[in-house]
Amino acid sequence: MPGRRSGAAVALVLSALLIAGPADAAGDGHGGDGPGPAAAPVEPLPVAPRGLPVELVRTLQLLQDRIARGSTQAHLAQRQLLGHIEERLLAAAPETWTSPENVRAAVAFALGGGGPAVLRRMNEGSRVADGEAGLVLGAIAYLDGREREARAHLSRYDARAMGPGLAGQLALTQAALAVREAPRQAIELLDLARLLAPGTLVEEGALRREIFVLAQGGDARRFEALSIQYLRRFRRSVYAGNFRQRFAAALTRLDFGSEPARVVRLERMLAEIEPEGRRDLYLLVARAGLEQGRRETAIFAAERAAGLADPESRAAAQARLYRGAALIVADGRFEEGQEALRAIERDLLPEADATLLDAALSTAAQIRTPAEPAARRPEPAEGAGPRAVPTPASIARAQEAVARIDRLINGSDP
């Protein structure tokens, strides 16, 4: 029967998620040889039965919590489980949704990656439990990108009044809807989401997002504190790679050259990562520093990365590249940077960095090559209008190189 097969599938997922400790079948646990007195029977705890939507969504959340702890297998299995749960919920009888608990489970499923199909079916053909219709409509509007409508519906609900399956997810969604117009309120909601769903993928996502809201707002102290917390607790998350990319870009806003105390705080943050990961993050910071025109940041991070890399490795070559590219526009250090660039083995670099090396060497050559005097142009004939002259490709490339230098000079740390 389909129901039994679906239930078996859920049971298999649960068995993969939960690790049961071995039962001690003999003895009283204290090392005695005798059988000991008979134990009194244990009364089972009164547990109210849960609806199928609640059980299915709880299974999904257990899987997602493993994603936050770094399980790539759980990440791969998530899509299959989402499809299975959607199929079961779409087939649920209309009276299923007269229970507020089941409706909230369906909303949690939709906001947690399941999409709006189940909620649309509920909204069209079922009698949704009293007081829950706004949750359904708000979640559909959010998933459809209609933020104003989603805010109007979801702002009426207090995440703290929801059950544990939805509370953190709702606060996370409300924060996403508030972040553009009310970043301070979004931070409060992200704090709430972390408190309501500790140790879950919801907490991981809320912490990751809050760090970047704080970075944009310039709250360096909280940015550093929460970054340490993320790197300490969720550095193995499947989404940590995305975090490190954005984290590196945020770090380039810090003035490493003029405030040594920030260097100490940065090194304290990165001490939470193993040396190889720390090296890679310094390389990301150095590259982002180049792209954003912050030469002091690029030099600092590249030197730190070089100190953590094998001298003959690709990472060391990348560190020398980023440092050299920044040095050619640093006051009094052009020759040092140019020599560093010329000494790099191009074959060690990935393709994108090999292109960057070529551009840096070209830029260095243009810095040292005096501009040719412009040839005197003949006076236009009387009455002749202006004539558009196409820009040769070589001039366009030179203009881009000059613009790149200007970004480094004008955007550098004061």
Q: Identify the CATH number of the domain defined by range 241-367.
A: 1.25.40
pTM of the model: 0.71
Cβ within 8 Å of residue 58, ≥6 positions away = 50, 165
Residue 224 CB neighbours (<10 A): 20
**What pLDDT was estimated at residue 317?**
94
**What pLDDT was estimated at residue 161?**
95
For residue 139, what are the CA distances in angstroms to 48, 109, 173, 299, 403? 27, 10, 9, 46, 45
Structure confidence by residue, pLDDT tens digits, 6-37:
555 554 554 454 433 333 434 444 444 455 56
In whole angstroms, give the CA distance from residue 171 to residue 157. Answer: 10
Assess contact for 72 and 238: CB atoms under 8 A: yes
- Looking up tokens 């909230």, which residue turns up? 104
Walking along the chain (414 residues) 10 residues at a time, the average pLDDT comes out as 49 47 40 55 61 94 96 95 96 92 96 96 84 95 96 96 95 97 96 96 96 87 89 91 85 62 76 86 88 85 93 94 91 89 92 91 79 52 46 47 50 42
Helix (H) or strand (E) holding 262: helix 260-270
For residue 269, what are the CA distances in angstroms to 133, 182, 223? 44, 28, 10
Length of the chain: 414
Residue whose C-alpha is closest to residue 80's, from 15, 13, 16: 13
Structure confidence by residue, pLDDT tens digits, 317-340:
999 999 999 999 888 888 999 999
**What pLDDT was estimated at residue 48?**
56
**What pLDDT was estimated at residue 119?**
95
- The residue ranges of every structural domain in the chain are 51-157, 166-237, 241-367
In whole angstroms, give the CA distance from residue 88 to residue 153. Answer: 27
Residue 109 token pair: 């499923």
In whole angstroms, give the CA distance from residue 165 to residue 103. Answer: 11
Assess contact for 106 and 169: CB atoms under 8 A: no
Assess contact for 223 and 250: CB atoms under 8 A: yes
